[in-house]
């Protein structure tokens, strides 16, 4: 191989390698198909953003006496699943109609006015802002989530990746918590802000599926306390009967 041909070959090879690296790393950097079964964070799912859905999730969760039955107070084209409030790992059985998206928190936190007032208008952990304003509530929720150390999600044996990018701060929301709710939020009319890591899964195919997620947070301010939520769902996706309204199956989404 003469010098000119050798130089040309090397230049071509370098350009080819560079183009390959650009394509592969560029796709990864923009999140293309990293988690194809998950709605991207900038999506509008049935008209709402992740942020707005996270507020609705809390309104749903705080209306429940327990988090075990996923069919309670569900409606529309997106259903909610819950983690735990700490303690041992749990496994739940859940049937979801086909064609439904569903949302769950890997780990999340909220802070409400009634909780702040019960704590002398201070956050449960040291936060940049204290009080009962919307900004203070958001500051406390975010400070709690800043302590997150571990995030894991597995769907049918496949690990989801780059979970840190799914962090979502809710808008301020009003709610009426039921007495004895699992989160221990005072009952009655209230207002809160939440922060956390959320996943909205696209509809799964009919049949059995397994969802497993773990979130951990470490709080040195609370006596080196580690909060862990570890939840497995055995999901039975049930096909619609011919008599059911099929509009849910064809509903449009953006993203």
Pairwise CA distance, residues 64 & 190, whole Å: 15
Q: Tell me the β-bridge partners of 103.
A: 80, 200
Confidence at residue 44, expressed as pLDDT on a 0 to 100 scale: 96
Domain hosting 207: range is 37-106+148-250
Q: Does 122 fall in a domain?
A: no
Is residue 213, in this structure, part of any structural domain at all? yes
| Greater pLDDT, 81 or 243 | 81
Asked whether residue 125 is assigned to any structural domain, the reply reads no
pLDDT of 251 > 70? The answer is: no
- Per mean pLDDT, which range of 125-139, 223-237, 238-252 is the poorest? 238-252
Q: Is residue 228 part of a domain?
A: yes
Higher pLDDT: 29 or 103? It is: 103
pLDDT band at 61 (very low <50, low <70, confident <90, very high): very high
Asked if the structure places residue 70 within a domain, the reply is yes
What's the CA gap between 158 and 161, in Å, rounded? 9
Is residue 93 in some structural domain? yes
Cα 114–Cα 149–Cα 198 angle in degrees, nearest 5: 60
pLDDT digits (tens, 9 = 90+) for 174-215: 999 999 999 999 999 999 999 999 999 999 999 999 999 999
Closest among 156, 155, 164 to 107, alpha carbons compared: 164
**Proportion of the chain above pLDDT 70, given as a percent:** 81
Q: Would residue 83 count as lying in a domain?
A: yes
**Is 72 part of a structural domain of the chain?**
yes
Instruction: Give the pLDDT mean for 206-232.
Output: 97
Q: pLDDT class for 33, splitting at 50, 70, 90?
A: low
**Does residue 28 carry a pLDDT above 70?**
no
What is the rounded distance in angstroms from the CA atom of residue 186 to the CA atom of residue 178? 8
Count of domains observed in the chain: 1
């Amino acid at each position: 191989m003469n010098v000119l041909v050798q130089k040309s070959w090397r230049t071509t090879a370098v350009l080819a390698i560079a183009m390959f690296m650009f394509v592969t790393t560029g796709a990864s950097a923009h999140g293309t198909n990293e988690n194809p079964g998950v709605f991207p964070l900038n999506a509008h799912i049935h008209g709402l953003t992740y942020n707005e859905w996270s507020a609705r999730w809390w309104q749903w969760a705080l209306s429940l006496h327990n988090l075990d039955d996923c069919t309670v107070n569900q409606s529309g084209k997106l259903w909610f699943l819950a983690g735990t409030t700490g303690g041992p790992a749990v496994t739940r059985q859940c049937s979801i109609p086909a064609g439904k998206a569903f949302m769950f928190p890997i780990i999340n936190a909220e802070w409400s006015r009634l909780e702040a007032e019960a704590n002398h208008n201070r956050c449960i952990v040291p936060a940049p802002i204290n009080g009962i304003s919307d900004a203070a509530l958001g500051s406390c929720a975010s400070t709690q989530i800043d302590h997150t150390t571990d995030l894991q999600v597995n769907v049918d044996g496949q690990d989801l990746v780059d979970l840190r990018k799914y962090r979502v701060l809710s808008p301020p929301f009003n709610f009426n918590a039921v007495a004895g709710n699992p989160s221990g939020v005072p009952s009655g009319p209230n207002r809160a802000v939440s922060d956390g890591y959320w996943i909205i899964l696209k509809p799964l195919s009919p049949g059995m599926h397994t969802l497993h997620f773990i979130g951990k947070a470490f709080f040195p301010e609370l006596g080196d306390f580690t909060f862990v939520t570890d939840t497995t769902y055995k999901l039975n996706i049930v096909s619609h009967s011919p008599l059911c309204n099929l509009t849910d199956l064809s509903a449009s989404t953006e993203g």
